Amino acid sequence: STILLSLIPPWVHEGGPEMLLQRIADKDVRDRIADGVYPQWGGSLADYMFAHVGSEKNKEWEGRSLQDMADAQGKRMVDTICDLLIEERLEVAFVARTGNPDNVRTIMAHPAQMVGSDGLMTGEMPNPRTYGTFPYLLGQAVEEGTLRLEDAVHKMTGASARRLGLRDRGVLRDGAKADVVVFDPERVRAQATFEDPKQLAMGIEYVFVNGTLVWERGRHTGALPGRALRKS
Residue 39 is predicted with a pLDDT of: 64
pTM of the full structure: 0.77
Residue 117, pLDDT > 90, answer no
Task: Quickly state the pLDDT bin for 38 (edges 50, 70, 90).
Answer: low
Residues 6+ apart with CB under 8 A from 73: 80
d(CA 139, CA 189): 4
d(CA 91, CA 51): 11
Pair 120, 93: CB distance under 8 Å = yes
DSSP letter for 37, please: -
Q: Which residue has the higher pLDDT, 46 or 26?
A: 26
Q: Write the DSSP assignment of 122-152 as a string of letters.
A: -SSS--THHHHHHHHIIIIIHHTTSS-HHHH
Task: Quickly state the pLDDT bin for 97 (edges 50, 70, 90).
Answer: confident
Percent of the chain with pLDDT over 70: 98
